């Protein structure tokens, strides 16, 4: 196998585009022309290795061209006023900007490495990253999801000099599992098959890695049937001294872990027909968690022995991205024939861009090479020297002694022409609908339906398949309840890293927020709600709201469509606003664009989804909270204002009610309450805490009751509302900014003092008679907690 020259100098515009298409380069005309003019200066055509390298490095996945390109936006601003704005670099002007302006000194490494890092304690940092693996999971759910998990774990291994993974979180959006088989488009897997395969893939990879999967979510919408969303996240801990990496000229390039095959070349875009043609080609990435576990075990030893100066993972673009990144400021020369292969017959360019899994690339000082290779060898990890960092600022690729490619690092990393795109957006015009006057019977039926709805119901059958206790540090668990009978839905997870940090009392909280349904009204509200939900979840278990960082993860449709890009701009605006107002910095992020699919010639974009993942620090893990009611006789107190916000709510959907106003976010109100909760929790004044989200007050109280195997009486008249609302509206509104707390009667006054100036009311009392009761002057609703629990627990039937 050898490399060939690709004729480009002679090509006209049309031929350039054809070349890009034919070779699956995904470069547009402007970019192809930039490539052409670069090689014109060199007076030669590029080799296949060179053009593939450029295509990988300039890919949307690696460069985020859309979000960092020029966008001419016309539409609503944060206050809803119509404006025209030109963004030179949307990310820099919204998300990065907020982080820079907040300038938190506990943010240790943001937006520059494989993960964001914040301070844990004086000596240690914690790193967090969430990635998506949507397209591979649509094609091969098990392998796609497994390698999604494997990939994000490698991000944590590849941040700085490597962090030790402590926990995984996973959030999925699937099509409706009850979709009739005949409604599934040809060539696509049924949502249930996708869901089962994805869960199994996440389970098998995460469990085998020995990393607990502690938090997540599963969401269903027909819009994700052909294009599911698979978000995988990992959090890890590292000494502060391991946060920076620095390659030196003369260091050796070592690749360790799995062997290289044709896995995932050009992503999983091969059709099956093409696969058959070359039947030994595997377009799909197959994961092997045990190989990655061996890499983890050995590389952290090598890190502590300071045997290498830099490390990164092989993700999208494989070695080309990994070596290209590490050698950006020095230059690097790689001898491609040295890369260990799974089987013979790979062309040099295939070796270079293969996305074979479980590989890490190290920069190793010459004096340490032998030691490092030996350390890997002792535990059967294959590690090989494949090249050396230079000082010529060039990427040089050789194959059997012959140079097969040479590119200037500057051109490779900075030569991509800026794109310019148009964006426009108009949120849905929302109007308050006429009052929903349900009698007690209809409210009770609605409550059972809400609890059984796929957005609210128990995901226990998935959660239990993940080992959420391995490492022994999960002290606020995904399922909560009394004694060991735990099934209630925890808001967030808390990791107490006692096995890593001696005598620590501190903990790490992880939570998620995603509200794709509100995006149908306005992606600003969707984004603001997701951010607030992630914060609320974290605070509900005891996180300090002033020590929380977040990650963004955009899954959007085709950004070349102005409406799609417009909805994304609006989401980015909300990210900036909320980040500033809550004082919550973004530390890392990711975007997956072009999530669209074609059915019978018609192309659809997915409903946009923004996952916000929060990581926070807790000073004393003993003061963390769970959501189950603890004791009959305690008071149920409600924090936050209930507004008439039932637009896009679960209640409206199950009752086929259209219209209404989707929830807004009121950061000043919310933040004040969140700070109060942290204060009260640390004073030991809160027995249980739960945030109110999908399904509203009614669902939240029911969950707390059946999780604690207790009952509750709530007086609807005591709920503080902004406007006149009916009983059903009060019970099922999904207004943000609200919590339910359980308080001992003796502590009620102290609690009221802490929350002075915020909306707080005593809404009811915990009872021992296993009934959930809601009452007002008009209605009285009572249902056995057992009935509510079984409606909630038995609804999802995936397995």
User: What are the phi and psi torsion angles at 566 (to 5°)?
Assistant: -60, -40
Alpha helices in 599-740 (DSSP H): 650-654, 667-682, 696-707, 727-732
Beta strands in 194-317 (DSSP E): 213-220, 229-239, 252-257, 310-313
* Main-chain dihedrals φ then ψ at residue 407, nearest 5 degrees: -135, 145
- If you ran DSSP here, which 8-state letter would residue 658 be given? -
Q: Considering the complex, what minimum distance in angstroms separates the CB of residue 480 from other proteins?
A: 7
Q: Which is nearer to other proteins, 34 or 188 (by Cβ)? A: 188
CB of 689 to other proteins, least distance (A): 15
Whichever of 46 and 136 has its CB closer to other proteins, that residue is 136
Q: How far is CA 307 from CA 271, 388, 579, in A?
A: 43, 16, 39
d(C-alpha 632, C-alpha 705), whole Å = 10
Dihedral (Cα; 521, 550, 475, 736), 10-degree rounding: -30
The least distance separating other proteins from the CB of residue 759, rounded to whole angstroms, comes to 31
Q: Please, what sign has the CA dihedral across residues 34, 36, 37, 39?
A: positive
Is there a catalytic annotation at residue 468?
no
Q: Which of 292, 297, 313, 314 is nearest to 208 (CA)?
A: 292
Cβ distance to other proteins smaller for residue 208 or 643: 208
Of 305, 292, 312, give the one whose Cα is nearest residue 375.
Answer: 305
> What is the nearest approach in angstroms of other proteins to the Cβ of residue 245?
25
- Kindly state the helix (H) or strand (E) to which residue 204 belongs, with its residue range: helix 191-209
Which CB sits closer to other proteins, 64 or 293? 293
CA distance 323 to 352: 10
In angstroms, what is the minimal distance from the CB of 491 to other proteins? 15
Q: Is 255 helix (H, G, I), strand (E, B) or coil?
A: strand
Kindly give, in sequence order, each residue whose CB lies less than 8 Å from that of residue 210, ignoring residues fewer than 6 positions away. Answer: 293, 470, 471
Report which DSSP code applies to 258.
S
Note the helical H segments in 418-561.
Answer: 440-452, 460-463, 523-540
**Cβ proximity to other proteins, 140 vs 221, nearer residue:** 140
What whole-number distance in Å separates Cα of residue 119 and Cα of residue 240?
8
At closest approach, how far in Å is the CB of 199 from other proteins?
10
For tokens 């015009």, what's the residue?
A: 429
741 burial via Cβ count (<10 Å: 0-12, 13-18, 19+): buried
Residue 418 gets which letter from DSSP? P
Q: How does DSSP assign 116-151, residue by residue?
A: EEEE-SSSEEEEEEEEE-HHHHHHSHHHHHHHHHHH
Q: How far is the CB of 262 from other proteins (least distance, A)?
A: 7
Complex with other proteins: residue 512 or 626, whichever CB lies closer: 626
Catalytic residue among 133, 189, 516, 690: 133
CB 525 within 8 A of CB 631: no
* Candidate list 61, 219, 468, 690, residue with the active-site label: 61
CA–CA distance, 431 with 621 (Å, rounded to integer): 44
Minimum distance from CB of 519 to other proteins (Å)? 30
Residue 682: other Cβ atoms inside 10 A: 16
Q: Which is nearer to other proteins, 321 or 626 (CB)?
A: 626
Question: CB of 620: closest distance to other proteins in angstroms?
Answer: 11
Alpha-carbon span 705 to 694, nearest angstrom: 17
Q: How many CB atoms lie within 10 A of CB 770?
A: 17
Question: Could you tell me the smallest distance in angstroms from the CB atom of residue 164 to other proteins?
Answer: 9
42: three-class secondary structure by DSSP: helix
Where b means 16+ CB within 10 Å and e means fewer, 548-566 reads bbbbbbbbbbbbebbbbbb
Which residue number, 213 or 642, has a Cβ lying nearer to other proteins?
213
Could you give the angle at which helices 440-452 and 696-707 cross, rounded to 10 degrees?
70
Quick check: 521 and 428 in contact, CB under 8 A?
Answer: yes
* Closest to other proteins by CB, 288 or 446: 288
Q: Least distance to other proteins from the beta carbon of 482, Å?
A: 6
Neighbours of 405 (CB within 10 A): 26
Question: At closest approach, how far in Å is the CB of 465 from other proteins?
Answer: 5
Q: How far apart are CA 628 and CA 785, in angstroms?
A: 13
For the chain, the maximum distance between any two Cα atoms, rounded to a whole number of angstroms, is 87
Indicate the residue among 143 and 151 with the shorter CB distance to other proteins.
143
CB of 263 or CB of 694, closer to other proteins: 263
Token digits of residue 441: 């019977």
Q: Whose Cβ is closer to other proteins: residue 446's or residue 471's?
A: 471
Instruction: Please give the Cα distance from 1 to 61 (Å, whole number).
Output: 28
Tokens of 273: 């027909």
Task: Please confirm, yes or no, whether 219 is among the known catalytic residues.
Answer: no
Which positions lie near other proteins, rule CB under 8 A?
139-140, 142-143, 180-182, 189-190, 192-193, 196, 203, 207-210, 261-263, 272, 275, 279-284, 286-290, 293-294, 297, 342-343, 378-380, 463-472, 475, 477, 480-484, 486, 496, 498-499, 621-622, 799
Nearer to other proteins, 1 or 83 (CB): 1
Locate 59 and state its tokens. 């890919």
Report the candidate in 491, 517, 531 with the shortest Cα–Cα distance to residue 739: 491
Cβ 285 to other proteins shortest distance, Å: 9
Q: Which residues are catalytic?
A: 61, 133
């Amino acid at each position: 196998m050898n490399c060939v020259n690709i004729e480009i100098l002679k090509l006209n515009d049309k031929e350039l585009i054809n070349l890009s298409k034919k070779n699956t380069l995904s470069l547009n005309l402007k970019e192809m022309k930039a490539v052409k003019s670069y090689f014109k200066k060199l007076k030669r055509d590029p080799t296949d290795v060179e053009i593939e390298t450029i295509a990988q490095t300039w890919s949307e996945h690696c460069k985020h061209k859309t979000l960092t390109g020029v966008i001419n936006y016309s539409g609503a601003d944060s206050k809803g006023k119509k404006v025209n704005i030109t963004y030179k670099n949307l990310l820099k002007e919204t998300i990065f900007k907020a982080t820079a302006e907040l300038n938190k000194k506990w943010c240790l490494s943001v937006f520059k490495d494989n993960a964001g890092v914040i301070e844990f304690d004086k000596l240690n940092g914690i790193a967090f990253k969430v990635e998506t693996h949507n397209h591979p999971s649509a094609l091969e759910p098990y392998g796609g999801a497994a390698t999604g998990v494997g990939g994000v774990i490698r991000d944590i291994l590849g941040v700085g000099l490597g962090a030790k993974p402590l926990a995984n979180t996973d959030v999925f959006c699937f099509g409706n599992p009850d979709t009739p088989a005949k409604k599934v488009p040809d060539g696509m897997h049924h949502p249930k098959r996708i869901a089962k395969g994805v869960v199994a893939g996440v389970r098998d990879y995460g469990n085998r890695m020995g990393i607990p999967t502690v938090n997540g979510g599963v969401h269903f919408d027909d819009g994700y049937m052909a294009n599911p969303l698979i978000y995988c996240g990992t959090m890890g801990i590292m000494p502060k001294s391991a946060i920076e990496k620095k390659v030196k000229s003369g260091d050796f390039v070592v690749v360790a872990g799995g062997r290289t095959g044709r896995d995932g070349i050009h992503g999983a875009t091969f059709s099956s027909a093409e696969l058959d043609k070359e039947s030994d080609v595997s377009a799909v990435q197959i994961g092997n968690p045990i190989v990655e576990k061996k890499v983890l075990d050995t590389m952290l030893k090598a890190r502590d022995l300071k045997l290498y100066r830099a490390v990164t993972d092989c993700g999208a673009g494989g070695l080309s991205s990994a070596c290209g990144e590490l050698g950006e400021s020095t230059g690097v020369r790689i001898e491609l024939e040295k890369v260990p292969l799974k089987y013979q017959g790979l062309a040099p360019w295939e070796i270079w861009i293969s996305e074979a899994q479980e590989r890490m690339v190290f920069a190793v000082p010459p004096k340490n090479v032998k030691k490092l290779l030996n350390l890997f060898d002792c535990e059967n990890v294959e590690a090989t020297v494949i090249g050396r960092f230079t000082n010529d600022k060039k990427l040089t690729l050789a194959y059997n002694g012959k140079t097969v490619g040479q590119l200037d690092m500057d051109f490779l990393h900075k030569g991509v022409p800026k794109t310019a795109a148009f964006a426009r957006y108009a949120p849905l015009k929302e109007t308050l609908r006429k009052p929903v006057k349900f009698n007690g019977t209809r409210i009770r039926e609605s409550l059972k339906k809400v609890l059984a709805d796929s957005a609210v119901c128990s995901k226990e059958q998935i959660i239990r398949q993940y080992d959420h206790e391995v490492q022994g540090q999960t002290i606020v668990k995904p399922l909560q309840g009394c004694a060991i009978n735990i099934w209630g839905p925890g808001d967030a997870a808390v990791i107490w890293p006692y096995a890593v940090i001696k005598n620590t009392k501190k903990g790490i909280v992880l939570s998620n927020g995603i509200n794709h349904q509100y995006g149908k009204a306005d992606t600003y509200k969707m984004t603001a709600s997701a951010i607030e939900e992630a914060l609320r979840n974290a605070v509900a278990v005891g996180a300090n709201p002033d020590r929380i960082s977040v990650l963004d993860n955009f899954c959007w449709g085709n950004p070349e469509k102005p409406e799609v890009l417009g909805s994304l701009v609006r989401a980015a605006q909300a990210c900036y606003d909320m980040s500033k107002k809550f004082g919550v910095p973004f530390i890392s992020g990711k975007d997956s664009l072009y999530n669209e699919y074609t059915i019978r010639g018609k192309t659809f974009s997915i409903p946009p989804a923004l996952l916000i993942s929060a990581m926070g620090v807790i000073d004393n893990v003993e003061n963390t909270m769970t959501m189950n009611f603890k004791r009959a006789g305690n008071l149920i107190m409600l924090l936050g204002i209930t507004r008439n916000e039932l637009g896009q709510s679960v209640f409206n959907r199950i009752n086929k009610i259209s219209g209404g106003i989707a929830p807004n976010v009121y950061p000043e109100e919310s933040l004040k309450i969140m700070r109060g909760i942290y204060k009260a929790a640390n004073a030991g004044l809160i027995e249980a805490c739960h945030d109110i989200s999908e399904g509203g007050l009614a669902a939240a109280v029911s969950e707390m009751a059946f999780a604690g195997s207790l009952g509750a009486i709530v007086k609807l008249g005591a709920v503080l509302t902004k406007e006149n609302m009916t009983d059903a509206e009060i019970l099922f509104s999904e207004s943000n900014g609200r919590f339910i707390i359980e308080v001992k009667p003796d502590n009620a006054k102290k609690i009221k003092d802490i929350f002075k100036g915020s909306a707080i009311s005593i809404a009811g009392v915990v009872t021992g008679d296993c009934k959930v009761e809601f009452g007002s002057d008009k209605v009285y609703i009572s249902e056995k907690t057992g009935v509510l629990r079984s409606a909630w627990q038995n609804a999802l039937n995936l397995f």
